[in-house]
Structure formats: structure tokens, C-alpha cells
Amino acid sequence: MKTDFNLIAYLIYLPVIVVLTWYVAHTLFKNSKVFMLDIFHGKADIANSTNTIFETGFYLLNLGFALLIMEISTELGSSRTLLETLSTKVGGFAIYLGVMLFFNLYLFFRGRRISKMRSNPPVITPPVFKA
Amino acid sequence: MNIAAYIIYLLLTGIITIKVGQVLFHHGRFYILSAMHGDETLTGVINKLLLTGYYLVNLGYAALMLRNWQTITTVTQLVSSVGTMTGRIVFSLAIMHYLNILWIALFGKQQQLFSHHKK
């Protein structure tokens, strides 16, 4: 039987994306607790809940996307094409994951800014007109 | 081969759907509680109803996808089609999840607006 390079590609791709997503999510949401506590003024229960809900969403979105783009429609003839196709896929997914990471960070910073603005709104002094 | 694919696929989607449902059921309570101004019984009822609706929609959608599945002859095809189909389910779950967050946020904003008007 001829070696099926497509199957090998899938068997390499699947663990790589799972580990990659897990690592990014783990790092991001371990550190986001500080932001969440800041946003919700130290209320631990709602901060933890929000963190978990965002984490679930992150896993769902990224693993779902990774599985969606998994299919390799061409038949891989050699180990060279296998490596080329696989690196394109994994690299593209890694870039997408990086964009997602920064988007999440932006959301955290934005939430913190809005929460701070609400707790002490900026003081607007009326202009003084001189006669 | 198709039967094997269906079994793997249904197991995977079932586990993911139930797991995610439990997480959201547990952690979403605080939001509904604050939206309902601390009414515990109403929150419990709404939360249960939301969970049931979520299970029905997702498991139904997952089962519907079995209808137009291509014929599978090799292991490679099995892995790729199960992966893609599961990916589709998980991706749509994610989109529903974010829409729910958006909806709750908008609802919270509206409530704030109303309580502002009452003062």
C-alpha cells in the first residue's frame, strides 16, 4: 500500500492546532483575570464568570476555525509537498491566532478604560468669559 | 465507513455541546441575576429554559448535518470529513455564543437607560 500523505498531514495538524490554541488561551486567560477584577471593581464572582465565558468563546471560535480549514483538497504526492502544505496551514492559523490574541487584549483594555470612566467621569469645567 | 464517521461525529459534537452548555449555565447565572434585579426564582427558570433551548437547537442542527454527508471509503476521508463537519458545528456554536454576549450586553444597556429615566 502506498503511504497516504494526506492522512499523515491530518494526524500532524490536529495535535498541533489543539496544543497551539490551548497554549494561547491558557496564557491569555490566566493574565486576563487582573483586567477582569479591575473592570468589575474587585467583584470576584462576576469577574471569574466573564473570564470563563470569554475563554469558552475563544476555544470554540479558534478550534472551530482550525477544523474548518483543515481539509486538504489536493493529493499530496511527496513528503516535500506535505511539509509545504502543512507549514502554510499551520502558519496561517498561527497568524490568525495572534490577531485574535491582540483583539482580545484590545477588548480588555477598552473595558478597563470604560469602567474607569464610569466610576469617575471626567470633570468638565465651564469656560470663564471675561467681560 | 460512514457509520463509523457518524458515531465519532455524534459523540464529539454531543460532548462539546453538553460541556459548553454546562459552563454557560453555571457562569451565565450572574448576568441574568443582575438583569432581573436579583430575583432568584425567575433567574433559575430563565436559565433552565435557555439551556434547554440551546441543547435542542444544537443537537438538532448536528443531527440535521448527517443528511448530506458524502460517501466515505478511506480513513483519510473519514478524518477530513469528521473534522470539517465538527469544525462547522463548533464554529456556529462560537458565533451563537458571541451573539448571546452581544444580546446580553445590549439588554443590560437598555435596562440601565430605563433605570436612568425612572430617576
pLDDT tens string B5-17: 889 999 999 999 9
**CB neighbours of A124 closer than 8 A, spacing ≥ 6?**
none
Which of A68, A89, A100, A103 has the highest number of chain B CBs within 10 A, making it the mutation to test binding with B? A68
Distance CA B84, CA B89 (A): 9
What residue numbers bound the domain in which B29 lies? 2-118
How many structural domains comprise chain B? Answer: 1
Q: CA–CA separation, A25 vs B103, rounded Å? A: 24
Q: What is the pTM of this model?
A: 0.82
Q: How many CA atoms lie within 13 A of B116 on its CB side?
A: 6
Query: For residue A56, which residues of chain B lie inside 8 Å, CB to CB?
Result: 20, 23-24, 97
Q: Which amino acid is at B32?
A: I
Query: How close is the nearest chain A Cα to the Cα of B111, in Å?
Result: 16
Smallest Cβ–Cβ distance between B84 and the set A50, A53, A67 belongs to A67
Residues 6+ apart with CB under 8 A from A67: A17, B83, B84, B86, B87, B88, B90, B91
The 10s digit of each residue's pLDDT in B107-116 is 767 766 666 5
Q: Give the start-end residues of each E strand in chain A.
A: none
- Is pLDDT above 80 for B21? yes
Chain B 40-69, CB below 8 Å of chain A: which residues?
none
